[in-house]
């Protein structure tokens, strides 16, 4: 891992000696991409990925639940859920901790699920609405800084969210999650600009540039080179790169002949992107380890006894400081790289707002145009429906597992941090491993996806074993003991890495060539648009039963639903339909290719 990190920072583009390309519009900055810029781009991944893993993936749901619990009461006895006078009932009815929210009594675990459901919905709406803004004027860097610092501030402010104002925590979660997703996709909108001005491409020889050639050094030294090595399985990179980016080797990695669009620009873009995300994951694991040490230390102080949520709030303070600090590094290193001027930029006040509103409308119109084209492609629609269900299941399992570990297995906060590290490292391994498994068994891409789904189904089914009386009487198996969730975390991570990789790659085989950006925008919108449904339904089930385990029934069904749909997709037929549609679009003035970049916009990351 250390050699991987050192290679990433050693392989920055050279600064001088390269001729600038001609500008494409007035005011475009075409200076060669510098070492400072690539370092600045990497720095933001290091900044925000920590919040994604340590915050959203670990401590935010726990903090929300704990804050609500400190204000909650047991449903029947009305004794406080925490503190010296807390009740000690453990059965499902009397032990259910409820808290009043806007006149309704809801389970404290449901409160966290509902919050994340709303956060993901607002994030999806924000991503689509901002999809055309980042490409104009100085908006790219401005939006990145606004989202980065606002998200960091939201995380830091958790330290002041005491139990009496626990609802404020849900507002901060919505802000943080929205800023996280939006900032990542703005960051990825920088990538085509940095690649277009990369000295290796401007010199006309991709092997001469430091960024490009560095990925070809030291092949085979480490599995980490799978993120940046042409000889490694290119489709394994998909699990570690932004979902909106067309992969340069989608066809090649799946056994199809690469399309002409597999250009040096796309190859370089994919490699820089995957390496940046790899650095982000390394940073997240590092901060997660520090967080565990903090939690263990603070748990021995009087602060934890006064307010059990306080150690986790200090961790979120650390995460926010980290996010803000590296965002500041990005601010100092990354150039503005302005886009074209808005058509009404010379008009002050209302005129500018009208231009922005037109761009928001344009983003939704572009997405709708892509939907209408996709409706004519049977294989694309079937797969998007399957992805709608599968992405919702993946998001629901993650949130449910964290809350289940805390509320029913009574896992300590440091152990939940360790659980998150286990899943994260397993996910990185899964993205690297699945291409080898697929080749070894001679699996078709959709068969690999079905195999991953089948393994994924083991997670809720194993949790449901505890409803079988004789297994329940054993007191072990069926997620009755805390240690049992760690092997499942490994399964979850490995399977998620494979699903993220192969679903995106398989979808790439079905879309019309030349419309990659617009269709990947639709793919990302499908992901974000579905991921709020599952957590909300699980929240309702938890409210009705008082047990997080009951959510496994819904999750088990949700995971199974995509299997027949994925099986129905015919990749060869879908490829032919995509090629035919591309020809039709070319004859009708380019179809969605005219708005491909704008339609993708801020939807580049899932």
pLDDT of the residue at 88: 52
Nearest CA-CA partner of 132 in 512, 518, 513:
518
- CATH code of residue 598: 1.20.1250.20
Q: Is residue 497 part of a domain?
A: yes
Q: Is residue 367 part of a domain?
A: no
Which residue range forms the structural domain that includes residue 430? 2-16+23-342+387-603
pLDDT means per 10 residues, the chain with 606 residues, are 54 54 66 84 93 91 92 83 59 69 88 92 84 72 92 96 92 94 81 77 49 38 37 35 34 37 62 78 92 91 84 95 96 84 56 73 80 87 93 90 90 90 87 85 89 95 93 90 94 88 82 74 79 89 89 94 93 87 70 42 40
Q: Is residue 409 part of a domain?
A: yes
Q: Is residue 543 part of a domain?
A: yes
- State how beta strands 104-107 and 73-74 pair: unpaired
The structure's pTM equals 0.78
pLDDT of the residue at 210: 41
* Two tokens, residue 377: 């492609």
How many structural domains is the chain composed of? Answer: 1
Tell me the C-alpha distance between 359 and 246, whole Å: 23
Q: Is residue 350 part of a domain?
A: no
Q: Is residue 379 part of a domain?
A: no
DSSP characters over 35-100: HHHHHHHHHHHHHHHHIIIIIIIIIHHHHHHHHHHHH-EETTT--BSSSTT-----STTTT-EEEE
113 in Cβ contact with 535 (< 8 Å): yes
pLDDT of the residue at 449: 92
**Class of residue 372 by CB neighbours under 10 A (exposed 0-12, middle 13-18, buried 19+):** exposed
Which residues on adjacent β-strands are paired with residue 106?
Answer: 99
List CB contacts of 604: < 8 A, sequence separation 6 or more. 184, 185, 188, 189, 191, 242, 243, 244, 245, 520, 524
Tell me the C-alpha distance between 345 and 352, whole Å: 6
């Amino acid at each position: 891992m250390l050699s991987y990190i050192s290679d990433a920072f050693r392989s920055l583009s050279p600064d001088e000696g390269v001729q600038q390309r001609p500008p494409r519009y007035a005011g475009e900055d075409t200076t060669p991409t510098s070492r400072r810029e690539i370092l600045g781009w990497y720095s933001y991944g290091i900044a925000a990925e920590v919040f994604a893993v340590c915050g959203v993936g670990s401590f935010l749901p726990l903090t929300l639940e704990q804050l609500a619990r400190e204000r909650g009461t047991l449903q029947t006895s009305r004794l406080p859920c925490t503190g010296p006078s807390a009740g000690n009932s453990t059965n499902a009815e009397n032990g259910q901790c409820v808290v009043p929210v806007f006149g309704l009594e809801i389970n404290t675990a449901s409160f966290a699920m509902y919050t994340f459901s709303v956060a993901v919905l607002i994030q999806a709406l924000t991503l689509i609405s901002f999809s055309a803004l980042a490409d104009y004027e100085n908006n790219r860097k401005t939006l990145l800084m606004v989202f980065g610092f606002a998200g960091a501030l939201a995380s830091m402010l958790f330290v002041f969210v005491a139990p009496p104002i626990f609802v404020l925590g849900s507002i901060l979660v919505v802000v943080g999650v929205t800023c996280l997703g939006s900032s990542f996709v703005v960051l990825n909108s920088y990538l085509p600009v940095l690649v277009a001005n990369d000295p290796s491409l401007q010199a006309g020889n991709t092997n001469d540039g430091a960024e490009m050639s560095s990925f070809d050094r030291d092949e085979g030294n480490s599995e980490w080179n799978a993120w940046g090595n042409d000889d490694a399985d290119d489709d394994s990179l998909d699990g570690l790169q932004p979902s909106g980016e067309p992969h340069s080797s989608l066809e090649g990695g799946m056994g199809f002949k690469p399309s002409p669009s597999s250009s040096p620009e796309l190859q370089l873009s994919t490699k820089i992107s995957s390496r940046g995300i790899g650095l982000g994951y390394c940073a997240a694991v590092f901060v997660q380890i520090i967080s565990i040490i903090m939690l263990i230390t603070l748990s021995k102080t009087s602060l934890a006894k006064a307010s059990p949520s306080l150690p986790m709030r200090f961790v979120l303070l650390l995460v926010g400081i980290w996010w803000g600090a590296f965002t500041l590094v990005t601010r100092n290193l990354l150039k503005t790289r302005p886009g074209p001027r808005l058509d009404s930029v010379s008009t002050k006040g209302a005129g500018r707002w009208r231009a922005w509103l037109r761009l928001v409308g344009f983003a939704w119109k572009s997405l709708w145009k892509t939907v209408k084209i996709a409706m004519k492609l049977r294989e694309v629609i079937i797969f998007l429906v399957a992805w709608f269900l599968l992405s919702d299941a993946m998001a629901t399992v993650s949130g449910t597992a964290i809350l289940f570990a805390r509320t029913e297995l009574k896992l300590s906060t440091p152990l939940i941090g360790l659980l998150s590290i286990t899943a994260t490292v397993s996910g990185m391994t899964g993205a690297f491993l699945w291409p080898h498994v697929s080749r070894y068994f001679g699996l078709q891409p959709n068969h690999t996806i079905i195999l991953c789904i089948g393994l994924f189904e083991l997670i809720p089914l194993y949790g449901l074993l505890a409803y079988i009386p004789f297994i329940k009487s054993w007191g072990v198996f069926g997620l009755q003991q805390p240690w049992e969730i760690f092997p499942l975390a490994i399964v979850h991570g490995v399977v998620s890495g494979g699903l993220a990789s192969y679903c995106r790659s398989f979808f790439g085989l079905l879309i019309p060539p030349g419309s990659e950006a617009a269709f990947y925008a639709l793919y990302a919108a499908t992901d974000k648009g579905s991921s709020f449904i599952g957590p909300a339904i699980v929240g309702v089930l938890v409210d009705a039963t008082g047990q997080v385990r009951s959510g496994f029934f819904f999750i088990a069904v949700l995971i199974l639903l995509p299997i027949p749909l994925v099986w129905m997709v015919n990749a060869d037929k879908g490829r032919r339909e995509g090629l035919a549609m591309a020809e039709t679009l070319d004859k009708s003035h380019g179809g969605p290719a005219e708005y491909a970049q704008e339609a993708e916009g801020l939807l580049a990351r899932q």
